[in-house]
């Protein structure tokens, strides 16, 4: 299907916030600047914002809506003459817009014969803001004078370096020990990937200084000592990752002195002795809402390693797509990995009417896992169940009760998006999928999601209701049946507490978790997996996303916790509340300084702290259609998180971090202009 972009057919979108007692409106103006009149079409848009299905729309009727995909139908017999504008005013949205990335990020016309034409589309404007829209990372320039001699992020535990010596042109690495040798290989690959032209690794003939790697006993798995004695530079560690981190520190010191010679110095004596304060220093990436190819993921792994981050939580499935090859169910990727006009999943979140998307083949996954492992990063794959499964269900409809009546809706506006916990088939399929994943991911930790199951889930499923009746009695089952066709828009979390949904979900999670445990795996879940307190706490952990109080309470109940509160650690949240900032702000906004200052265990007792596994930033990809938005939202906040996970609170300093952050790599290299 061809989808030419028609420059003479333009869609302008405008956000009018509520003002002077008037309600808000979202206005779409379709302009026909072509030589021919236009008829027999409908207008399709998608972007993070959602048109409320029950709401008032002027100038059109909503003929189709799935989450943030909306199709508008003009009045019967409508013709848009040349030079004319068709105006649609939307007065009901699932939530009000706050940022320029909230509006439509793709728009096209659909015709009765199935053909489509993409429209020229500018970002949504707000009637309340004329400020230029921000894209690209906000870079903190490295100042002329800084509080420290060396440039290192995250800042080490113990830095005692003194005096300076001329900067070597680069380094040659000398190692006998197998772990040390492996680390030198990893380091070469890493700097080649991130800073190829700089030549950190060189030969003696090119004037490189020798660095000796020595195995030393007694270092922790990520610990190292880096010492300088005139021309003798030494890295000591007891593990491959320890050696690698010692080299990363050396590389960072070198880059600072090389790129900012008046600001930083290369030490002539002294040492750095270092190890992390937290064991889990992670990043979560949602590759369902937007697809990121192998090259992007590998570069991201390199960026993580340069920040000494060691976990990658890979969100491989969601309502909008399925991204991993499963041999037993090819339909998952044949159907679930693609969006497009007329396909099982429509264009969502800015994807075009043409078939777009993608998935990771098994060889690609193996390649990425090996690459990450070489860089000290363990990968946790996530298949989000039982909710967030619209794409999976489009591919394998058997995971729904065929007798299911009516509809329930998820918080993101997907109907009937939960696989059915009362069906044996569900367990067969999920266990087969997980068995294949276990083969691919050697870390043996599988995240099963469990977030945001709607309060009305399975309320029209006779199979689920019968099961509920058997395990929880008539009252609960009857109350649950009442929830059908009620748009609950619940975020899961506590809203489902004690409900039929929570009971059915708990049964399901318990069984899946025992299965994973039987395969020697730890189960990860979002905090809603704690409903019913059924998963084995010794073999699981929770990602706690609401706030530190909830994290502390879950720790009290005995769960191991990875702290990732939405207000600060969700990197899809905007830096500031302004319209010209991209991103969302439903959980709050935070710039790098706020993220840096945030205490992930604020108010926790010592006993609660025993349950802290670590911290994690989460990238949800709804607004990431534009990769300059990705760079803006992720950097340097990711480095601020890395320092929080590594550096003891008493050694943190925003002034120092801000002075050094400009040296850290971006994923795409797109800076605010």
Q: How far is the CB of 448 from ligand TNX (least distance, A)?
A: 12
List the x/- string, 555-584, binding to ligand TNX by CB under 6 A: ---------------x-x-----------x
Kindly tell me which of 545 and 630 has the beta carbon lying closer to ligand TNX.
Answer: 545
* CB-CB contact of 309 with 282 (8 Å): yes
Kindly tell me which of 413 and 460 has the beta carbon lying closer to ligand TNX.
Answer: 413
Cα–Cα distance, 226 to 244 (Å, whole number): 11
Kindly tell me which of 465 and 529 has the beta carbon lying closer to ligand TNX.
Answer: 529
Tell which one of 408, 620, 635, 646 touches ligand TNX (CB under 6 A).
620
Question: Phi and psi at residue 616, in whole multiples of 5°?
Answer: -155, 140
Tell me which residues in 583-602 interact with ligand TNX (CB under 6 A). Answer: 584
Kindly tell me which of 191 and 300 has the beta carbon lying closer to ligand TNX.
Answer: 300
| C-alpha torsion angle, residues 396, 399, 403, 404 (rounded to 10) | -100
614, 630, 535: which is closest to 582 by C-alpha?
A: 630
Which sign does the torsion angle of CA 493, 550, 443, 280 carry? positive
Residue count (the chain) = 673
* CB-CB contact of 219 with 237 (8 Å): yes
Q: How far is the CB of 387 from ligand TNX (least distance, A)?
A: 9
Q: How far is the CB of 285 from ligand TNX (least distance, A)?
A: 11
In 340-445, which residue ranges form alpha helices assigned H by DSSP? 362-374, 390-395, 424-440
Q: How far is the CB of 452 from ligand TNX (least distance, A)?
A: 5
Kindly tell me which of 379 and 584 has the beta carbon lying closer to ligand TNX.
Answer: 584
Q: Does 102 bind ligand TNX (CB under 6 A)?
A: no
Q: How far is the CB of 530 from ligand TNX (least distance, A)?
A: 13
Helix (H), strand (E) at residue 507: helix 500-518
Q: Which two tokens stand for residue 117?
A: 């034409």
List the x/- string, 212-251, binding to ligand TNX by CB under 6 A: ----------------------------------------
Kindly tell me which of 9 and 300 has the beta carbon lying closer to ligand TNX.
Answer: 300
Tell me which residues in 420-459 interact with ligand TNX (CB under 6 A). Answer: 451-452
126, 119, 64, 118: which is closest to 101 by C-alpha?
A: 126
Q: How far is CA 314 from CA 91, 157, 334, 343, 612, in A?
A: 37, 29, 20, 25, 21
Q: Which two tokens stand for residue 21?
A: 């007692």
Q: How far is the CB of 347 from ligand TNX (least distance, A)?
A: 18
Which sign does the torsion angle of CA 373, 370, 384, 538 carry? negative
* CB-CB contact of 457 with 407 (8 Å): no
Q: How far is the CB of 242 from ligand TNX (least distance, A)?
A: 33
Q: Which residues are registered as beta bridge partners of 87?
A: 29
Q: How far is the CB of 619 from ligand TNX (least distance, A)?
A: 9
Tell which one of 97, 314, 545, 635 touches ligand TNX (CB under 6 A).
545
Which sign does the torsion angle of CA 20, 22, 24, 29 carry? negative
* Interface size with ligand TNX, residues (CB under 6 A): 10
Kindly tell me which of 62 and 321 has the beta carbon lying closer to ligand TNX.
Answer: 321
Which residues of the shown chain bind ligand TNX in the complex (CB under 6 A)? 286, 451-452, 526, 545, 570, 572, 584, 620, 622
């Amino acid at each position: 299907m061809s989808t030419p972009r028609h420059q003479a057919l333009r869609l302008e979108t405008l956000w009018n916030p509520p003002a002077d007692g008037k309600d808000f409106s979202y206005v779409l103006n379709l302009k026909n600047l072509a030589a021919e009149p236009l008829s027999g079409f409908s207008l399709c848009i998608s972007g993070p914002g959602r048109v409320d299905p029950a709401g008032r729309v002027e100038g059109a009727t909503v003929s189709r809506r799935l989450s943030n995909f909306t199709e508008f139908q003009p009045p019967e017999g409508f013709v848009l003459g040349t030079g004319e504008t068709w105006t649609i005013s939307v007065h009901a949205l699932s939530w009000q817009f706050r940022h320029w990335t909230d509006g439509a990020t793709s728009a096209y016309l659909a015709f009765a014969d199935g053909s489509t034409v993409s429209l020229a589309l500018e970002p949504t404007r707000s009637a309340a803001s004329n400020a230029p829209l921000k894209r690209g990372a906000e870079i903190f320039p490295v100042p002329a004078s800084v509080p420290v001699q060396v440039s290192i992020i995250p800042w080490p535990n113990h830095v005692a370096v003194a005096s300076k010596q001329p900067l070597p042109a680069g380094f040659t690495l000398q190692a006998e020990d197998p772990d040390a040798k492996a680390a030198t290989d990893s380091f070469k690959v890493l700097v080649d990937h991130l800073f190829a032209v700089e030549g950190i690794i060189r030969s003696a003939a090119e004037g490189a200084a020798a660095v000796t790697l020595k195995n030393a006993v007694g270092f922790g798995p990520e610990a190292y000592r880096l010492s300088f004695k005139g021309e003798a530079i030494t890295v000591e560690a007891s593990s491959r990752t320890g050696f690698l981190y010692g080299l990363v520190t050396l590389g960072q010191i070198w880059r600072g002195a090389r790129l900012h010679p008046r600001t930083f110095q290369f030490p002539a004596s002294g040492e750095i002795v270092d190890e992390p304060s937290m064991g889990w220093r992670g990043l979560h990436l949602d590759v369902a809402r937007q697809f990121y190819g192998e090259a992007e993921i590998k570069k991201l792994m390199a960026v993580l390693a340069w920040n000494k981050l060691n976990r990658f939580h890979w969100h491989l499935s969601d309502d909008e797509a399925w991204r991993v090859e499963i041999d037993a169910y090819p339909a998952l990727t044949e159907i679930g990995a693609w969006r497009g006009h007329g396909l099982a999943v429509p264009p969502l979140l800015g994807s075009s009417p043409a078939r777009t998307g993608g998935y990771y083949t098994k060889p690609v996954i193996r390649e990425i896992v090996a690459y990450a492992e070489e860089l000290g990063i363990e990968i946790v794959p996530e298949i989000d169940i039982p909710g967030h499964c619209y794409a999976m269900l489009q591919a394998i409809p058997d995971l729904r009760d065929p007798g299911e009546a009516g509809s329930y809706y998820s918080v993101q506006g997907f109907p009937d998006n939960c696989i059915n916990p009362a069906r044996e088939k569900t367990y067969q399929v999920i266990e087969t999928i997980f068995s294949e994943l276990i083969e691919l991911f050697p870390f043996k930790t599988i995240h099963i999601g469990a977030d945001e199951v709607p309060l009305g889930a399975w309320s029209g499923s006779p199979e689920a209701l019968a099961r509920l009746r058997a395990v929880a009695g008539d009252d609960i089952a009857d109350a649950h049946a009442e929830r059908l066709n009620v748009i609950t828009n619940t975020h899961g979390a506590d809203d489902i507490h004690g409900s039929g949904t929570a009971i059915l979900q708990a049964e399901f999670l318990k069984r899946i978790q025992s299965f994973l445990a039987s395969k020697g795996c730890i189960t990860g879940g979002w905090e809603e997996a704690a409903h019913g307190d059924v998963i084995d706490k010794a073999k699981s952990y929770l990602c706690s996303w609401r706030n530190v109080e909830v994290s502390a309470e879950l720790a009290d109940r005995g769960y191991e916790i990875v702290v990732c509160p939405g207000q600060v650690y969700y990197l899809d949240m905007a830096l500031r509340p302004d319209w010209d900032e991209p991103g969302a702000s439903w959980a709050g906004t935070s710039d790098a300084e706020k993220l840096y200052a945030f205490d992930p265990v604020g108010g926790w007792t010592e006993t609660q702290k025993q349950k802290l596994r670590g911290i994690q930033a989460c990238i949800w990809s709804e607004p990431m259609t534009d990769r300059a938005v990705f760079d803006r939202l992720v950097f340097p906040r990711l480095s601020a998180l890395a320092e929080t996970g590594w550096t003891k609170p008493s050694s943190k300093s925003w002034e120092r971090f801000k002075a050094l952050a400009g040296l850290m790599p971006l994923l795409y290299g797109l800076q605010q202009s």
